[in-house]
Amino acid sequence: MPAIAESTPAAQRHRQRIEDLIGAMTLEEKAGQLNLLADPFRWLPKAVNPLDGQGNPARVTALIREGKVGSLFNGVGAEAGRRIQQVAVEESRLKIPLLFAADVIHGMTTIFPVPLGEAASFDPDLCRRTARAAARELAASAVHQTYAPMVDVARDQRWGRNVEGAGEDVLLNNVLAAARVHGFQGDKGLDDPEAVLATAKHMAAYSAAIGGVEYNTTDMSEQTLRGVFLPPFRASVDAGALAIMSAFNDVNGVPASGNRKLLTDILRGEWGFEGFVLSDYTSEQELVAHGFAEDARDAARLAFNAGVDVSMVSGLYLEHLPGLVRSGEVSMARLDEAVRRVLNVKAALGLFDDPYRGTDPERERAVVGARQHVELAREAGRKSVVLLKNDNSLLPLNKRQKIALIGPFADDVDNVWGPWSIWGMPERRVSLEAGFRAAMDDPSLLSIARGSGIEAPLNGGIEQAVAAARAADVVVLAIGEGQQMSGEAQSRTEIVVPAPQQALVEAVAATGKPVVILLRNGRALALEGAVKNAHAIVVTWFLGEQMGNAVADVIFGDHGPSARLPISFPHRSGQQPYSYDRKTTGRPANPDLAQEEYKARYRETPNTALYPFGFGLSYGDIVYGPIQMETDQLQWTGTIEIAAMITNRGRREAEELVQLYIHDRVASLTQPGRLLKDFKRIRLRPGQQEKVSFTLNPRQLGFIGADEAYRIEPGLFDVWVAPHAQGGVASTFRLIGPPSITDGR
Ligand code: NOJ
């Protein structure tokens, strides 16, 4: 990674100016640069944090004038942005521009699929392109930084925020984190008028909350921390992200926002990160509630000395850092270092050259919600739809038949965006009904019945739905979670379809009509009864503003389903925490046997997934030929080719996501039963076959050892070329080499 001072010509040019500023600043002005407040001036259509709407514009204006605010977040808009910036650069003593940030997680005005849904595309370039479009809109609305990507690896589907991430696999998280950082920041330097600063969050292990309870404690081995939760942060830093947000939770007893090992030793010392670390909303203040700091002053001291450079919302740094420096509890060198990091990023963003970047209302009008972004939203939507089941090729649906579209999401537009969509245009949301009608040859053949509310029954709803089903050739049931059921602070105990909707599906299925389930969800769901037994099941997440069109594209066959699950769908809620890459244990259960005593399994269900990570059908019929390897030995300095012939025996074109998994049979620490190492997408016409081949090298085969270093150990490996984490064709190879190698990563 280039050193930040060199990362853009802008930053280089302002090196001396930054040192001069630091030399001229009072302690209060230095603390001011580290003070990040909610934007009380600009447009925030809905509250997303506890104190939203309570900001005081007059007070914040005065603070900006006094040089006591460094950044503002969660307001957008070019014209008002100019007015606020003007206060900083014309009325404050040192004229340092403000940094404007926003929570743009999956689109600003044009809303794309939720990140988890988009991860199902397994398409880094698509993720890069939607992030690019979001950055373009943001940058044209006088915003310089987004609080994305969230790179917390999903381990427990009860936790509500998995919807914001890239799922349960480490490799997929790494690849998509890098793609999203590249997308937000662009490739022309941060001072490019279309670039925004990316923020990898929440460091670290936030998603490992015990019991899936939001904000809960995490407790884990160093191997799990370094092997599962930290890699996507490293990938973000390597991709050039210059901001990191610290997490709310504690990790092995030390709150993440007071964790020197994480935020300084690893992030700076090991990875060479040169940007700034900001707390999550009051997370530094929460060191008191954690029982880690005595009071607010102590919390400021601990967080700041641990490596949190910027404080979000609490005002703690402004209040306490000057005193802490005067008393010697915080060094001036540490304070200057944090200020330098913030000013360097501001310079890299070009704010010292043009503090008014992004404040041209005309450009804002041209860019925000642009037509090509809407087309991209539809493309991203249809590429995120996962087909789980398709008995007797019920799908794609014929456009000339009577369809009953039933369920709380049949004609709904309030749950197409998904959580964290703040500045979208409500009138652009496309319901399933609208998408279906636009796609059907004769839209009058579509009937609609809600049948049920999301979490409460609807009076007479089931009767109406059953009547609609009886009159139709095929039933499409749009059911699942409302968008308020996932996201921050939306943990669930049971990851199931809400009971009133389950009852609706049971009643409709009893009519005997063919049933297609369209699941709306921000997490994996444990499917039961008539939902599980439906003829066809499709995962549609929250696909963003083009949801209805995107689903119709797939359901009616204009686009073949090409996405795969980035999270495993378990049999039962009680299997959580669950991910495909769990260890074998000393008593592995045979998943094919219904009951087996004294094995690692539950009484009621095998501990496999109903639909595993990587799973997804196409409209083709794909078969995998045996693994082809020219050798079964991988030399220490060499590579090994692993291939398989993939054939489409079906009658329709298909896209297949071919996945490569390994299992390290014997190691000095026990290893996952399977681990994804690569994936490739191919497109096959009916009858076509293609040899797909992967190259592995020894560096891809290591793990975090007992000494916390990355180790590669020779020995036997299982390998699968597979359509998902529970299938595929298998073989073995042996890594030949010195007894064990530590490479100090
Ligand atoms: C709290 C959330 O955890 C974080 O992801 C978000 O960026 C901040 N609030 C700011 O809204």
Whether 520 and 668 share a structural domain: no
Determine, yes or no, domain membership for 673: yes
Identify whether the C-beta of residue 108 lies closer than 8 Å to the C-beta of residue 133.
no
Side-chain half-sphere of 404: how many Cα atoms within 13 Å? 25
Give the separation between CA 169 and CA 172, rounded to whole angstroms: 6
Q: Average pLDDT of 179-185?
A: 98
Nearest CA to 416 among 399, 403, 428, 406?
Answer: 428
The single residue listed with the structure tokens 């991910």 is 579
Whether 458 and 536 share a structural domain: yes
Pick the atom of ligand 1 nearest to 202's CA.
Answer: 5
| Residue that finishes a domain, picked among 575, 608, 639 | 575
State how beta strands 654-664 and 715-722 pair. antiparallel
The lowest-confidence range among 213-227, 251-265, 377-391, 731-745 is: 731-745
Whether 708 and 635 share a structural domain: yes
Strand locations in 665-709 (E): 675-684, 689-696, 703-704
| Residue that finishes a domain, picked among 514, 542, 575 | 575
Give the separation between CA 291 and CA 60, rounded to whole angstroms: 31
The helix or strand, by DSSP H or E, that contains position 361, with its residue range, turns out to be helix 361-367
Q: Average pLDDT of 708-736?
A: 97
Confidence band of 1 (pLDDT split at 50, 70, 90)? very low
Summarize pLDDT for 219-243 with one digit per residue, the tens.
Answer: 999 999 999 999 999 999 999 999 9
Residue from 44, 49, 106, 162 whose mutation best tests the ligand 1 pocket (most atoms within 8 A of CB): 49
Pick the atom of ligand 1 nearest to 150's CA.
Answer: 5
| Residue that finishes a domain, picked among 547, 575, 603 | 575
Residue 172 CA to ligand 1 center (angstroms) comes to 23
Pick the atom of ligand 1 nearest to 74's CA.
Answer: 11
Radius of gyration of the chain (CA): 26
Determine, yes or no, domain membership for 665: yes
Residues with Cβ within 8 Å of 638's Cβ and at least 6 positions away in sequence, in order, are: 697, 698
Residues with Cβ within 8 Å of 668's Cβ and at least 6 positions away in sequence, in order, are: 705, 706, 711, 713, 740
pLDDT at 353 over 60: yes
Amino acid 73 reads: F
The pLDDT assigned to 321 comes to: 98
The pLDDT assigned to 7 comes to: 60
Summarize pLDDT for 315-329 with one digit per residue, the tens.
Answer: 999 999 999 999 999
State how beta strands 536-539 and 515-520 pair. parallel
The pLDDT assigned to 2 comes to: 45
DSSP secondary structure string, 516-576?
EEEEE-SS-----HHHHTSSEEEE-----TTHHHHHHHHHTTSS------SS-EESSGGG-
Residue 722 CA to ligand 1 center (angstroms) comes to 37
Residues with Cβ within 8 Å of 279's Cβ and at least 6 positions away in sequence, in order, are: 245, 246, 257, 303, 308, 310, 311, 312, 314
Identify whether the C-beta of residue 406 lies closer than 8 Å to the C-beta of residue 508.
yes
Residues with Cβ within 8 Å of 350's Cβ and at least 6 positions away in sequence, in order, are: 8, 10, 190, 191, 192, 357
Q: Average pLDDT of 588-593?
A: 86
Whether 551 and 699 share a structural domain: no
Specify whether 280 is catalytic: yes
Domain that holds residue 554: 371-575
Summarize pLDDT for 534-561 with one digit per residue, the tens.
Answer: 999 999 999 999 999 999 999 999 999 9
Residue identifier of the C-alpha nearest atom 9 of ligand 1: 281
Confidence band of 596 (pLDDT split at 50, 70, 90)? confident
pLDDT at 8 over 90: no
How many CB atoms within 10 Å of residue 663? Answer: 18
The pLDDT assigned to 591 comes to: 79
Determine, yes or no, domain membership for 345: no
Determine, yes or no, domain membership for 255: no
Q: What is the CATH number of the domain that holds 413?
A: 3.40.50.1700
Active-site choice (250, 280, 412, 553): 280
Classify 284 as helix, strand or coil.
Answer: coil
How many CB atoms within 10 Å of residue 93? Answer: 12
State how beta strands 199-203 and 243-246 pair. parallel
Identify whether the C-beta of residue 10 lies closer than 8 Å to the C-beta of residue 347.
yes
Determine, yes or no, domain membership for 222: no
Phi, psi (deg, nearest 5) at residue 72: -130, 150
Give the separation between CA 320 and CA 299, rounded to whole angstroms: 10
Phi, psi (deg, nearest 5) at residue 259: -105, 95
How many CB atoms within 10 Å of residue 66? Answer: 16
Residue identifier of the C-alpha nearest atom 1 of ligand 1: 281
Whether 420 and 567 share a structural domain: yes
Nearest CA to 314 among 338, 336, 288, 337?
Answer: 288
Residue 474 has which token pair? 């095929």
Where do the H-state alpha helices sit in 443-509? 461-470, 499-509
Is omega for the bond preceding 299 within 30 degrees of 0, making it cis?
no
Confidence band of 594 (pLDDT split at 50, 70, 90)? confident
Pick the atom of ligand 1 nearest to 312's CA.
Answer: 10
Give the separation between CA 95 and CA 86, rounded to whole angstroms: 9
Phi, psi (deg, nearest 5) at residue 735: -85, 120
Determine, yes or no, domain membership for 547: yes
To the nearest 10 degrees (0 to 180), the angle between helices 296-306 and 332-348 is 70
Whether 641 and 519 share a structural domain: no
Determine, yes or no, domain membership for 583: no
Q: Average pLDDT of 116-123?
A: 98
The sign of the torsion formed by the CA atoms of 134, 140, 141, 142 equals positive
Burial 4-30 (b: 16+ CB within 10 A, else e): bbebbebbeebeeebeebbeebeeebb
Whether 382 and 465 share a structural domain: yes
Residue identifier of the C-alpha nearest atom 7 of ligand 1: 147
Residue from 39, 44, 48 whose mutation best tests the ligand 1 pocket (most atoms within 8 A of CB): 48
pLDDT at 585 over 90: yes
pTM of the model: 0.98
Identify whether the C-beta of residue 263 lies closer than 8 Å to the C-beta of residue 307.
yes
Give the separation between CA 449 and CA 472, rounded to whole angstroms: 12
The pLDDT assigned to 638 comes to: 96
Classify 645 as helix, strand or coil.
Answer: strand
Whether 626 and 569 share a structural domain: no
Whether 376 and 484 share a structural domain: yes
pLDDT at 3 over 60: no
Whether 561 and 633 share a structural domain: no
Residue 280 CA to ligand 1 center (angstroms) comes to 6
Q: Average pLDDT of 185-201?
A: 97
Determine, yes or no, domain membership for 289: no
Whether 463 and 532 share a structural domain: yes
Summarize pLDDT for 481-513 with one digit per residue, the tens.
Answer: 999 999 999 999 999 999 999 999 999 999 999
Identify whether the C-beta of residue 199 lies closer than 8 Å to the C-beta of residue 243.
yes
Residue identifier of the C-alpha nearest atom 3 of ligand 1: 280
Whether 546 and 627 share a structural domain: no
Q: How many structural domains compose the chain?
A: 2
Ligand 1 is surrounded, with C-beta below 6 A, by 48-49, 74, 103, 147, 201, 280-281, 488
Residue from 72, 73, 100, 147 whose mutation best tests the ligand 1 pocket (most atoms within 8 A of CB): 147
Identify whether the C-beta of residue 505 lies closer than 8 Å to the C-beta of residue 537.
no
Phi, psi (deg, nearest 5) at residue 515: -120, 130
Residue 281 CA to ligand 1 center (angstroms) comes to 6
The pLDDT assigned to 6 comes to: 53
Pick the atom of ligand 1 nearest to 248's CA.
Answer: 3
Average pLDDT across the chain, whole number: 96
Nearest-10 Cα torsion for 128, 130, 132, 138: -140
Q: What is the CATH number of the domain that holds 730?
A: 2.60.40.10
Residue 27 has which token pair? 């302690």
